Copies of this chain bind each other. A is one copy, B any other.
Amino acid sequence: MYRGLTEDLARKTDSKILLAVIDGIGDVSIEELGGRTPLEAAETPELDRLVPESSLGMHIPVSTGITPGSGPAHLALFGSDPVAFEVGRGVLAALGMEFNLEYGDLAARINFCTVDDNGVITDRRAGRISTDKCTELVRLLSDIEIDGVETFVCPVKQHRACVVFRGEGLDDNIVDTDPGLTGEKPLSITGSGKSARVVKDFIMEAGKILHDRHPANFILLRGFSLYEQFPSMRDRFRLTPAVAALYPMYKGVARLVGMDVLKCEPEDLDGQARAVKNALESGNDFIFLHHKPADSAGEDGNVAAKIKAIEEFDRHFPSFLKLGFDVVCVTGDHSTPCSMKLHSWHPVPVLINGGPQRVGYSKGFSEREAHSGALGLFRAMELIPLLLASAGKLAKFGA
């Protein structure tokens, strides 16, 4: 297991930490907002109320200029090195569907596609078949039996699904069969190892089953990845962590680092608050709270919706604060500028409240105010040591 200074110095205490992630919260200057960002424009009285007693700063999700996917961005916030511990798309897809992966499982993304009589791809997405259709086809593929492994197929959405192979001795040295364009045949699986043989057999059987299922008459596989043991936050930091998220993907990444997955009912911020209350009562001392809509709005380029998503979080935030955390951190996993409709590399505001802090550097919770905050600019991976320290969970280094 990976060990560093933080691991050596971490100690179990009664203090409780809340890490609230407003997904994609960061943005860039927007002309229609007079050069402000959605966070600057949003009315966030509850967050602003914390600011005079908080330290603010900016985190760099992975490294300067690098735009992270959700997997690496969250792993960094959980204290894992997202470059050393890269999570493959296949594993993320399976975790995202709450498939119960076991260590050593080989996972891949499936795209249903259309091929012509010569096996040449004419549509890489099979006309974006409905999710119902996808579920029906996945049921057929689930009957495939391959020697030496168990095979599981899950529907994801529209033409997307995922497959998991379980058995001894699998590896993920398998390149995508998706050539990335139409007018070509799917790429062949090369290699003579067990994984290559298993995947080849699966594709062949799938081809037989789907043969007369036009437009979804073949499959493309990509993002082959092995589900491997991740360093757990329990072992590394002596925390008992739990996740209150509504989207499967974030529960999945949290589970990867050993978090308990909380059941949130109803599936909204009220349900999340209720789940967090129960978790604290049953001994969890680190809560990862995830709020998705700001990222979705950013990806849609919808400035008003992004502002609304932030304000919605702000309105509900007191119901988390009153649960009695010793240290509260509010941040994002990455920026999702509305003008880009994409994740980006721009640093992300961070607020830490609780514990001994230098305060009074910032006047509100925004990119601009966080930029001049007492925490300065740091890597997302350094957040966990800051939170542990603020919560009195890190011993002194050296005499």
Contact = CB atoms under 8 A, between A and B. Distances in A.
Contact of A66 (B72, B371, B389): B389
A388 interface: yes
Interface stretch (A210-218, A272-280, A314-322, A351-359): A351-359
Contacts of A35: 359-360
A394 B65 contact: yes
Contact of A385 (B5, B9, B64, B399): B64
Contact of A396 (B69, B339, B356, B389): B69
Interface stretch (A134-142, A254-262, A340-348): A340-348
B385 A67 contact: no
Interface stretch (A79-87, A125-133, A171-179, A263-271): A79-87
A63 B382 contact: yes
A56 to B, nearest CB: 12
A398 B28 contact: no
Interface residues of A, number: 65
A397 interface: yes
A28 to B, nearest CB: 5
Contacts of A367: 358, 374
A293 interface: no
B361 A371 contact: yes
A225 B82 CA distance: 35
The winner among A29, A89, A347 for most chain B CB atoms within 10 A is A29
A310 to B, nearest CB: 17
The winner among A65, A92, A347 for most chain B CB atoms within 10 A is A65
Nearest to A343: B396
Interface in A45-99: 58, 62-72, 82-83, 86-89, 92-93
Given A63-B382, A356-B28, A345 B399 contact: no
Contact of A397 (B72, B88, B371): B72
A132 to B, nearest CB: 25
Nearest to A73: B398
Contacts of A343: 396
B359 A29 contact: yes
A64 B386 contact: yes
A169 to B, nearest CB: 25
A123 to B, nearest CB: 23
Contacts of A386: 64-65, 345
Contacts of A69: 396-399
The winner among A68, A70, A367, A374 for most chain B CB atoms within 10 A is A374
A250 to B, nearest CB: 13
A66 B359 contact: no
A368 interface: yes
A337 interface: yes
Interface string A194-236: 0000000000000000000000000000010000000000000
A385 B385 CA distance: 26
Nearest to A395: B67
A378 interface: yes
A6 interface: yes
A57 to B, nearest CB: 9
A339 B68 CA distance: 39
A326 to B, nearest CB: 14
B357 A67 contact: no
Contacts of A89: 399
Contact of A67 (B68, B340, B394): B394
A5 B382 contact: no
